[in-house]
Chains A and B, each alone.
Chain A
Amino acid sequence: MTGRSLPPFEVFLEANRAVVYRYLVAAVGSVDADDVFQETFLAALRAYPRCTEPDRLDRWVLRIASRKAIDHHRGAARRPVPVAAPPDLTAADADPAGDGLGPAARAVRDLPSRQRDAVAYRHILGLSVAETASLMGTTEEAVRANAYQGIRKLKERATWTND
């Protein structure tokens, strides 16, 4: 434990709810962000008294959110998916959650988890390479590479949908 002590959980929740939500919309999509948000903060509440990073709680909770997003994707892979979409849903398909986010935003959540987090932390939350590396427990070089590969895939995906 560092010199600083933990703030009341309520204060921590208010300080970090928006950034976690924004990360989750990118990582799991607008529709499921809410559920994964609940799981993230319940896990945080469970672990809170044992948290050893009282002065980097934003990082701490984003790491939990990242793990919950991975769990969510694993679960989704096991869940049955409808075989064919009804033919008249093209408009809804372009923006199924009605949140103004297009195909590239939705492609973020389909990236491999390291690329997804690198893109989300760097390009959505605006964290520095150093902050992202510390958050992901990796090197700055690896962050740059993951973010680069992720963004390249998103661009391919965007071009491909626009054709």
Chain B
Amino acid sequence: MDERLSISAVDADRRSRAAAERFRSAASESGLVDVAVGTLDSPVGELFVAVTPRGLASIAFEGVDRDALLTRFTRELSPRVVAAARATDDVRRELDEYFRGARRRFDLTLDRRLMSRFMLDVLGATSRISFGRLATYGEIAGTIGRPRAARAVGAALGANPIPIVIPCHRVVGANGKLTGYGGGLPRKEFLLQLEGSLL
């Protein structure tokens, strides 16, 4: 048979790319997507966000291994992970407002399933530090009734799955120094400057 029976592999790749894009929107509307992932631009670099029907589950800075994250979502949330940009629209809008200086607190509902028990306590206390304020690791440790656990608090904050929205950047060393940040110190500095906490 010299006649081709289907389109070439190259055409199949091109056309299936468009079809897959259409599928992603349809899937998102069908309610079958358990974890919708998407990217958004921000002054601290491209952010990779994951939203579930329960709420925002994850924000990752540029440089984080996205394949590893997808595997983690699959294991800890659901394998129905789809790049459905529209599902991340609310997060995109609130973050845009925050970076424009038009929002001081987030109204997003959060999915906290990627947090351990201890992290839930630490990040719960961290969520109560308002815009423009700072707290020390020791203060957070005291708030959760573990006054000697400042170091463990630091580790929990470093693993915060929802940075920016859960403002772990507002936690600093006892001397007011920016001692560390999951997304790197320059980003912490930028966020605190944006909030007027640093000159």
Contacts and interface: CB of A to CB of B under 8 A. Distances in A.
B6 interface: yes
B61 to A, nearest CB: 20
Contacts of A7: 71, 74, 79
Interface in B1-33: 1, 3-7, 9, 11-13, 15-17, 19-20, 22-23, 26-27, 30, 32-33
Interface string B71-86: 1011100111111000
Interface string B125-155: 0000000000000000000000000000000
B80 A48 contact: yes
B110 interface: no
Nearest to A46: B32
A104 B3 contact: yes
B37 interface: yes
A5 B26 CA distance: 26
A42 B70 CA distance: 20
B82 A10 contact: yes
B100 to A, nearest CB: 30
Given A25-B12, A42-B30, A10 B70 contact: yes
Contacts of B4: 100-102, 105
B19 A34 contact: yes
Interface in A132-163: 151, 154-155, 158
Contact of B81 (A9, A17, A42, A99): A9
A39 B27 CA distance: 10
A10 to B, nearest CB: 5
A56 B166 CA distance: 40
Interface residues of A, number: 45
A14 interface: yes
Contacts of A10: 37, 70, 81-83
Contacts of A11: 67, 70
A69 interface: no
A104 B3 CA distance: 7
Interface of A: 5-11, 13-14, 17-23, 25-26, 30, 33-34, 37-38, 41-42, 45-46, 48-49, 99-105, 108, 119-120, 123-124, 151, 154-155, 158
Interface of B: 1, 3-7, 9, 11-13, 15-17, 19-20, 22-23, 26-27, 30, 32-33, 37, 67, 70-71, 73-75, 78-83
21 contacts: A5-B75, A8-B79, A8-B81, A9-B81, A14-B20, A17-B19, A18-B13, A18-B16, A19-B12, A21-B12, A34-B15, A38-B26, A42-B27, A42-B30, A49-B78, A100-B4, A105-B6, A120-B6, A123-B5, A154-B1, A158-B1
